[in-house]
Amino acid sequence: MDYFQVIILSLVEGVTEFLPISSTGHLILVSNILGIAQTEFLKSFEIIIQLGAILAVVSLYWKTLTTNILVWKKIMVAFIPTVIVGLAFYRMIKEVFLERTEITLFALFFGGVLLIILEKLYKEQAHHIDSIEKLSIKKAFLIGLVQSLSIIPGVSRAAATIFGGLFIGLKRKAAVEFSFLLAVPTMAAATALDIVKTSFSFSIYEWSLLVIGFIGAFVTALITVKYFIQFIQKHTFIPFGVYRIILSFLFWMLFIK
């Protein structure tokens, strides 16, 4: 990997992390387009730079995260299923899921179809929950269960948590914000686990790539999060579903031999 490739990947990560289109899936596809080999470092890079995007959420929701214990309780309860699944399937994620581009494409395609169907079925009601504080512990845990499906590249952690939230009774803005906040412990833990598993065995050059990727993901995510909140209050998620389907089809036709 060179610095130009790192900048491209960091921009992709920052833009896609909180959209329902799978940041990991996009990093895998863009890596293929750029001709970057699927090395162990690339797999770690794709996981670790996500923490840069997560810190964008921390900066935007700093007051909520540092003063609202009730919100943290909901976040940590929802985080539990992902911890269990992530630890149980860590080796499979790195050695199988991240190795097979076909898995990502299938997940993007069928996830896009499902996203459109769910959007068509969803009807926001006046009695739906409009704030995370009103979310019950049980419902927070159910959202966490749905999030655990995102260990498969292409599924999209954001899509899983947002639609999990919508269908247990959250309003759109509340579902998206809970998805943002749940990403904080989820991606922090994923990054920490990967660093520990690799025993910090990165060269000075690789650390420099990680720092650049981290900063790039942070800046682009900061911008994306602000505009995404505004977007979903006026639009549906159907364009994201259509995008996923088109992307997976085109990539399969052009790059899979």
> Nearest 5 degrees, angle CA 109-CA 20-CA 107?
25
Distance CA 115, CA 239 (A): 10
Give the predicted TM-score (pTM) of the model. 0.85
On the question of pLDDT at 140 being above 70, the answer is: yes
On the question of pLDDT at 244 being above 70, the answer is: yes
Distance CA 97, CA 90 (A): 10
> Given this model, what pLDDT does residue 189 score?
84
> Given this model, what pLDDT does residue 109 score?
94
Domain that holds residue 84: 3-255
State CA 151 to chain mean position distance: 10
Look at the chain and report how many structural domains it folds into.
1
Range with the lowest mean pLDDT among 36-50, 116-130, 213-227? Answer: 36-50
On the question of pLDDT at 10 being above 90, the answer is: yes
Q: Contact 163/145 with Cβ under 8 angstroms?
A: no
Distance CA 4, CA 47 (A): 19
CA-to-CA separations, 31 to 43, 118, 197, in angstroms, rounded? 10, 30, 22
Torsion, Cα 152 157 160 163, to 10 degrees, reads -160
SS3 category, 81: helix
> Given this model, what pLDDT does residue 1 score?
86
Which contiguous run of DSSP H or E holds residue 194?
helix 172-197
> Rounded to 5 degrees, what are φ and ψ at 28?
-65, -45
Per-residue pLDDT tens for 64-112? Answer: 898 999 999 999 999 999 889 988 887 888 777 877 888 889 999 999 9
In the predicted model, what is the mean pLDDT of the chain?
89
Bridge partner list, 249: none
> Given this model, what pLDDT does residue 200 score?
67
Per-residue pLDDT tens for 159-211? Answer: 999 999 999 999 999 999 999 999 999 888 877 877 777 766 788 999 999 99
> Given this model, what pLDDT does residue 29 score?
87
Provide the phi-psi class of 31: left if phi over 0, else alpha when psi is between -120 and 50, else beta: alpha
> Given this model, what pLDDT does residue 38 score?
79
> Given this model, what pLDDT does residue 126 score?
86
Distance CA 186, CA 156 (A): 13
- Separation of first and last alpha carbons in the chain: 23
Residue 12: both structure tokens together:
């992709």
> Given this model, what pLDDT does residue 257 score?
61
pLDDT top residue among 32 and 95: 32
